[in-house]
Structure 1
Amino acid sequence: MPGPSLYRIDKFVVPPTSRDRFMERLKKTHDALDHVDGCEQNLILEQVDGTGRFNIVTFVQWRDETAYQAAKSAAQARQAADGFNPAQFMKELEVAADLAIYR
């Protein structure tokens, strides 16, 4: 029997000047997740009202830890093959992030 679901919830503070480029890359990443075994829900949310500091939030529900770890490994391999460095990308765009896993 699989373990309990895992939830990856990432919150970002994205400057307006970086929004389009950041969203383009984020959508590319999340579109790939839609085809991964074990991805049960995949959302990109953009704040339209309110005073919270995070203006972009992603929410991905994974069937279990095994599915999440497999997807994470595949994503890291894909990024390496593409020569993409997420930390450098976010630094370049001056994006602040709060990345976490929840159960």
Structure 2
Amino acid sequence: MVPCALKIYIYAINKPLSMAKIGFGNPEDPHRIRNSSRRLFLAVLILMLALSIAAYLFRKDLLELMGGVIMYMVAFSMSLGIVFAAYRAITIMMKRWEGKR
């Protein structure tokens, strides 16, 4: 796991800033990940952890219900990822076509 993460980190450093959002530093950088995105991710992560602890402690059907909700979230995020990838591919192609004119 660590070598794979290290390869991704090295790849992200060596690529130009025209790729996906990778920067956490400069607030004026257009490729910077916003604080709101980080807070939302952290809130969802903490909520899922709290629900799993509650399901373990109370031993109810909450775990099954939570599994169904997680499946819906995974399907929704996958569909968002596919739509964003298609949008990004179209915008990149449009930029290339404008550059060739």
TM-score strictly above 0.5: no
The answer to which structure, 1 or 2, has the higher relative contact order (CA under 8 A, 6+ apart) is 1
Give the TM-score of the pair, scaled to structure 1.
Answer: 0.30
Q: Which has the higher helix share?
A: 2
Larger radius of gyration: 2
Give the TM-score of the pair, scaled to structure 2.
Answer: 0.31
